[in-house]
Chains A and B, each alone.
Chain A
């Protein structure tokens, strides 16, 4: 066991059905914006919100993401600090869309003025400002971005929470969060969880420090899996590495979709967490999910056994399992073998007791860049 993986469980706060936390760090292109919005649409469709509310949330997400593509500064001389960050967060009745992107210090004053103006207006004031901006501003990227900020405030009914963090003489980092309440019911104080600017900054720092590109906490179902795969494809040019990454990701995520248990025996959904990290020489994929304690030993034994096999032995095991036609709809037994063969690296794992009946299983797989 690799106990250094236990941080996955510590970061995995037990979430309720329909909650989610999605974080992406990287280049935000128009194609990626569409993929992220599709991902959001899939999740929104499953929640218990009205169609009107879902449209509103979707629209605000779109504006927030387009803000990045229109607002962000070009910077070929920056490293990870230049990449954008997108967080979609849902807990109970709260949706929070949080973004971060590089900006020019020269634009700071104008941006602050705009945001302060927006935050001081009431609903009628925002409506009027939106109308004025549409009729007087030319079709420029910055003009479009102004309108975007106004629309986010108007439609969320909340202030835009922001921070501008200087990096050097030329650049700052612009963080923005928008909160949308989907219900007039107040959450219990105990369950009322928000996502503040300081949470966003902390997430960004964590992602930069650990080279995370993507994380997802929520319901692991086929739709979410397909959205995450699509986001992977958008974010990377086709290459032998991406093909391998895709294949391993499918097996890791479908492992959760099909095999994971839940902390409370609810079989409606599968709570899990997933990370993609990129290092100079490899990608690391990490996943975590609940399992019944009665399966823990067998899973550990299986992984240990596969980790001890050579490629030839794994191929023999693969063929033996391939021809085993018990047609178990849940498990082919091939997933871990496939991961070992494709990556050529060992499957690292750890388990932590989550309850008297359940453990939390964490897996890590490395894909060496070719």
Chain B
């Protein structure tokens, strides 16, 4: 299926969703004015992907920051992936800066409310 790639801006993340290459990544900043609008094509992409997912899906969450409006969209992505476990082996890599206890805490919380394996990966400096 066609990849969905978006370049990052000051308030929206870098998006790389490429089923053929096996890359599923969100990175940098997410604080869009209208999170519903920004994430709609991403959710649509995942909905399409879920019809014929890869045998393994590794989702890299490399967001340096996301606002509460984004969190509602992100949880929908994670729930979508949670629904694919019978068709694909799903792994969530949750990256966070070592000094960012809030992002670490969110990773721990999400790993408990979402029924998927989470790897919490600390980073020494900025996520690129």
Binding site for B on A (CB under 8 A): 222, 226, 230, 238-240, 243-244, 246-247, 250-251, 254, 257-258, 315, 319, 322-323, 325, 327, 329, 332, 334-335, 337-338, 342
| Centre residue among B36, B65, B69 by max chain A CB count within 10 A | B69
Interface pair B36/A327, CB less than 8 Å apart? yes
The residues in B between 34 and 81 inclusive whose CB is less than 8 angstroms from any CB of A are 34, 36-37, 65, 67-69, 71-72, 75-76
* A335 neighbours in B (Cβ, 8 Å): 68
Among residues of A, the one whose C-beta sits closest to the C-beta of B11 is A226
Interface pair A329/B68, CB less than 8 Å apart? no
What are 27 of the A-B contact pairs (CB < 8 Å)?
A222-B33, A226-B10, A240-B101, A243-B65, A243-B102, A243-B103, A246-B65, A247-B67, A251-B67, A251-B68, A254-B33, A254-B67, A254-B69, A258-B33, A319-B113, A322-B71, A322-B72, A329-B34, A332-B68, A332-B71, A332-B72, A334-B68, A334-B69, A334-B71, A334-B72, A335-B68, A338-B68
Among residues of A, the one whose C-beta sits closest to the C-beta of B97 is A243
* B86 neighbours in A (Cβ, 8 Å): none
Among residues of B, the one whose C-beta sits closest to the C-beta of A248 is B102
Q: A240-B99, A254-B69, A322-B71 are in contact. List 17 more A-B contacts (CB 8 A).
A: A238-B99, A239-B99, A240-B101, A243-B65, A244-B102, A246-B65, A250-B31, A250-B65, A254-B31, A254-B33, A322-B75, A327-B36, A332-B72, A334-B69, A334-B72, A335-B68, A337-B68
What total of chain B residues lie within 8 Å of the partner, measured CB to CB? 23
Interface pair A329/B37, CB less than 8 Å apart? yes
Interface: B20 (CB within 8 A): no
* A226 neighbours in B (Cβ, 8 Å): 10-11
B102 in complex: contacting residue of A222, A254, A337, A342, CB < 8 Å:
A342
Among residues of B, the one whose C-beta sits closest to the C-beta of A338 is B68
